[in-house]
Amino acid sequence: MKTFLYASFFAPVFVFALSFCSAAEENALPREPYKTALITRWGEGVTAENAWREYPRPQMVRENWTNLNGLWDYAVTGKEQTEAPSAMDGQILVPFAIESRLSGVQRLLQPEEALWYKRTVALSPVPGKRTLLHFEAVDYDCELRVNGIIQGTHRGGTPFSFDITGALKDGENELLLRVEDPTDNWQIRGKQVLDPHGIWYTRVSGIWQTVWLEEVPERNISSLLLTTDAAKGTIHLSAGLVGAPQNAALSVSVRSGADTIASGTGPASGITIPVHNPVLWTPDTPHLYDLEIALLSDGGEAVDRVSSYAGIRTVGKIRDANGHLRFTLNGEILFHWGPLDQGWWPDGLLTPPSDEAMRSDVEFLKKAGFNMIRKHIKMEPRRYYYACDQLGMMVWQDQPSAGHGPKWTFLKENPEDAEWPEAQHLQYMTELEGMVIALINHPSIVVWVPFNEAWGQHRTMEVGAWMAARDTSRLVNIASGGNFWPVGDIVDFHKYPDPGFPFDENRYREFIKVVGEFGGHGYPVDQHLWNPDQKNWGYGNLPKNKGEYEERYARTLDGLNELRKAGIAAGVYTQTTDVEIEINGLLTYDRAVEKMPAEKLHELSRILFED
């Protein structure tokens, strides 16, 4: 087997510099994706009938909805074509991207091409009801037409919806979605590139999360905002409304299991519900309270109903006896220990093969003794965070990154920001805001991470101040491993393979100190490699055998523990799974092999929680 190694933790700078191609080089870009033999056990069972059938928005649930995942017709044309193709090329399995094996197509969408989706759906519009068409994620620019009528456009990988009521007719209705996905330098795209190599992976284009229809009343609840206070034992709720004034009344019931334990009525602009003797949400006790919410008419009748849930918890920080800032949850100091988690799959790429498969990653990590996940430059399906809420897994949520970064100077003084044009900056902020809106109610999310390293890092102080003001209930890690600017709550250093931190108490006194990436020990497992003929790699020389791999892992945990005693408040180990030719996962890419048993990982991690 061929192997490749990065000799130092500076390697990502080198790889990043290689990730962009000039116009002259584009002709050399791959025209077909690498077609791996690797598939997960869940992917083997995917069919058009069972593909992602779960309700996609667990924080705001209605009963009347229709899942549109399954086989759609598709076509690929030049992007100059703006009229619907006269004939389609075949069928594609939604919600899997066209480049993925599970889509049934497995071809690369080129920057000069457009991807078209078409299907019909039988509907019977009801007077007094609105029909909303929801897309959980589409890469990257899209336009929707219903029965030939343009409904709107969207850019970016965040959830979006169209009210398509005015275009509907009784009977069969045609849905047509046109997509362009250039995967260019300004685009917010995370680890996707046109030419996969090293730490950069196969592009993902088109629909890659659930598509669904929802029927709502003319007067309806369009959004929820939940905040909690552990010390007071309260749940505060406000709602966005459509077709009703913002001072319209809401009725809220709070259940714990089968018992209704609290209730109240108040304006949609804000209502606070006290919970007597609350069970607080923690990684050890991830208790969730179910919520039933009704929008009331002037006469007190329910005109719309949704269900939700809340975990009562408060995120904060405090100085320890030695003056170091530490993370707190519900007022108690808690060391954050978690993996870097990229959420890629050999068969679905950015789309997990199933909800069960996605949840299994969190279950493994929980069993392995982790209490936190750094979700790395990807926004997962919303059900992922539902699993973290239920299982008790804290999340540091990265914003997907883009190119055009400044010189990466780590934590050195006098950093520089990249210069971003106003239009590109506004798109970055639009997608950051879209991610926050979609995920803000999940109690598992405790830290926002706007930038990773120096990738697309720009206007750092402005973005950090915006993020801190946008959500005061969480902490802000402005640039994990990136150029340090004094904004937010956290100073974050990356070092491979052994953890380290350049302590400077004068500079970092007002910030929580963390090692945001370390480890990355590679270990190949035969028959479970994405491409056995490629230069599969990990950080540092690959170990000679499994024993040496385990020794390296234990050594780096010992190093992290020494840093913890010196003031480090969190450690992030790279990473949960292998990804393409990166073989530094705790699991193989197909999730078939635990390189170390979860129980052993848990036992090794106990030193991080001892006094």
| 508 phi, psi to nearest 5 deg | -110, 10
pLDDT above 90 covers a percentage of the chain that reads 93
- What's the mean pLDDT in 37-66? 97
Q: CA angle, corner 359, sides to 358 and 365, nearest 5?
A: 105
Is pLDDT at 1 greater than 80 in this prediction?
Answer: no
Sign for the pseudo-dihedral over CA of 487, 489, 495, 501: positive
Confidence of residue 5 (pLDDT cuts 50, 70, 90): very low
Residue 14 has pLDDT above 50, yes or no: no
- The per-residue pLDDT for 7 is 30
For the chain, the C-alpha Rg in angstroms (whole number) is: 24
For residue range 444-490, what is the model confidence (pLDDT) as tens digits?
999 999 999 999 999 999 999 999 999 999 999 999 999 999 999 99
SS3 content of the chain, % helix, strand, coil (to 5): 20, 35, 45
pLDDT at residue number 246: 87
Judge if the upstream peptide bond of residue 497 is cis by omega within 30 degrees of 0: yes
Nearest to 250 by CA among 275, 279, 280, 220: 220
φ and ψ at residue 434, rounded to 5 degrees: -60, -40
pLDDT digits (tens, 9 = 90+) for 202-230: 999 999 999 999 999 999 999 999 999 99
Tell me, what's the pLDDT at 27?
Answer: 55
CA angle 502, 503, 505 (to 5 degrees): 145
The pLDDT score that the predictor gives to residue 51 is: 98
Sign of the CA dihedral running 572, 578, 580, 581: positive
In Å, how far are 2, 385, 502, 569 from 326, measured between CA atoms?
Answer: 43, 24, 17, 5
Pairing of strands 479-480, 451-452: parallel
CB atoms closer than 10 angstroms to residue 208: 25
Give φ, ψ of 533 to 5 degrees: -95, 0
Cα distances (Å, whole numbers) of residue 361 to 166, 288, 447, 523: 42, 21, 20, 19
Q: pLDDT tens digits, residue range 377-435?
A: 999 999 999 999 999 999 999 999 999 999 999 999 999 999 999 999 999 999 999 99
Residues 603, 611: Cα–Cα separation, whole Å? 16
CA-to-CA distance for 437 and 43, rounded, in angstroms?
Answer: 30
- Give the CATH number of domain 335-609; options: 3.40.50.2000, 3.20.20.80, 2.60.40.10, 1.50.10.10: 3.20.20.80
Average pLDDT, the chain: 94
Residue 24, Cβ density class (10 Å: 0-12 exposed, 13-18 middle, ≥19 buried): exposed
Cβ atoms 462, 479 nearer than 8 A: no
On the question of pLDDT at 8 being above 60, the answer is: no
* Overall average pLDDT of the 243-260 stretch: 95
pLDDT tens digits, residue range 354-384? Answer: 999 999 999 999 999 999 999 999 999 999 9
pLDDT at 2 over 70: no
Structure tokens given for 399: 């914003």
> How far apart, in whole angstroms, are the C-alpha atoms of residue 493 and residue 509?
15
Length of the chain: 611
For helices 422-439 and 460-470, what crossing angle results, to 10°? 30
Q: How far apart are CA 105 and CA 557, in angstroms?
A: 43
Query: Across residues 28-36, what is the average pLDDT?
Result: 87
Burial 566-578 (b: 16+ CB within 10 A, else e): ebbbbbbbbbbbb
Which amino acid, 104? G
Positive/negative CA dihedral, 102, 69, 361, 569? positive
Does residue 16 carry a pLDDT above 50?
A: no
Task: State how far the Cα of 138 lies from the Cα of 67, in Å rounded to an integer.
Answer: 16
**What is the rounded CA–CA span in Å between residue 163 and residue 171?**
18
Tokens of 253: 């019931």
Q: What is the pLDDT of residue 611?
A: 81
Cβ–Cβ under 8 Å, residues 396 and 373: yes
474 near 316, Cβ under 8 Å?
no
- Whether the pLDDT of residue 584 is over 50: the answer is yes
Kindly report the CA angle at 436 between 357 and 97, in degrees rounded to 5? 40
Answer whether residue 68 shows pLDDT above 90: yes
Q: Is the pLDDT of residue 25 over 80?
A: no
Burial class (CB in 10 A: 0-12, 13-18, 19+), 610: exposed
**Torsional class of 313: left (φ above 0), alpha (ψ -120 to 50), beta (otherwise):** beta
Query: Rounded to whole angstroms, how far apart are CA atoms 534 and 150?
Result: 45
Instruction: Examine the pLDDT at 135 and tell me if it is beyond 80.
Output: yes
Whether 220 and 304 have beta carbons less than 8 Å apart is answered as: yes
User: Which CATH number, 2.60.40.10, 3.30.420.40, 3.20.20.70, 3.10.150.10, labels domain 231-310?
Assistant: 2.60.40.10
How confident is the model over 289-310, as a mean pLDDT?
Answer: 97
pLDDT, average across residues 67-96: 97
pLDDT in tens, 141-192: 999 999 999 999 999 999 999 999 999 999 999 999 999 999 988 999 999 9
With both helix axes pointing from N to C terminus, report the angle between 422-439 and 382-391 in degrees, rounded to the nearest 10. Answer: 40
**Whether pLDDT at 552 is above 70:** yes
What integer pLDDT is reported at residue 184 of this predicted model? 85
Structure-token match 């990807």, residue found: 378
Structural domain spans, the chain: 231-310, 335-609
169: three-class secondary structure by DSSP: coil
The token pair that represents 240 in the structure block: 């966005």
